[in-house]
Amino acid sequence: MSTPMIVTITQEQADHLSIDLPEGWAIVQNAASGPDHFLATASEGESGGAIRINRMSPKVLAFSFNYPDEVPFDIDLTAHYRQAFTSAEQHEETADVQELPARTIGGVHALGYSYQWIRTSEHSYEESWILARCDGIWKVGLSSATNATTIPLETLAALDSISWTPAGS
């Protein structure tokens, strides 16, 4: 996956994120100022899956990656994916990092990889998806239950339900 995938970032304000969470799930974290950080998990006794969504706004991208301070500007999604993939390969608590077939999330092209997250005697299967939209780079992470080897179907259904509506609507 080395072909550049250029996406133009055109707006600072985040579009509104929508997701259909499985019954019994709880939102653990949701930024009051917008959807830059979101975490939802299955409640006790459920599958134990989780979904985390983070947005890197244009300002964060400009600061972290030396992009222009104002929109519009172009980013290479493939380069950001490669950096995240390499970081996962080098992390001491990950194993078996694998590329996943590209897919769409909310109508947007997404690049992903999977890995085993290992801490002491516990592990989980994880998927990480990276996509770029007009309002920044979004990272969507899926987690299995502790010591499971697959993402629960209800978590995959939540991933498939993600959509955005324009800010201000």
Residue 150 belongs to a domain: yes
Residue 169: per-residue pLDDT: 72
Please report how many Cα atoms fall inside a 13 Å half-sphere around the Cα of residue 88, on the Cβ side.
23
Its pTM stands at 0.91
Question: Which residues form the domain of 148?
Answer: 6-165
Structure tokens at 50: 């989780």
Residue 102 belongs to a domain: yes
Instruction: Answer whether the bond into residue 68 is a cis peptide, omega within 30°.
Output: no
Residue 127 belongs to a domain: yes
Residue 1 belongs to a domain: no
What does pLDDT average to in each consecutive run of 10 residues of the chain (169 residues)? 87 92 82 70 70 93 91 96 97 96 96 92 93 96 92 92 89
Domain count, the chain: 1
Residue 78 belongs to a domain: yes
Residue 141 belongs to a domain: yes
Residue 29 belongs to a domain: yes
Residue 44: per-residue pLDDT: 58
| CATH number assigned to the domain comprising residue 96 | 2.60.120.1690
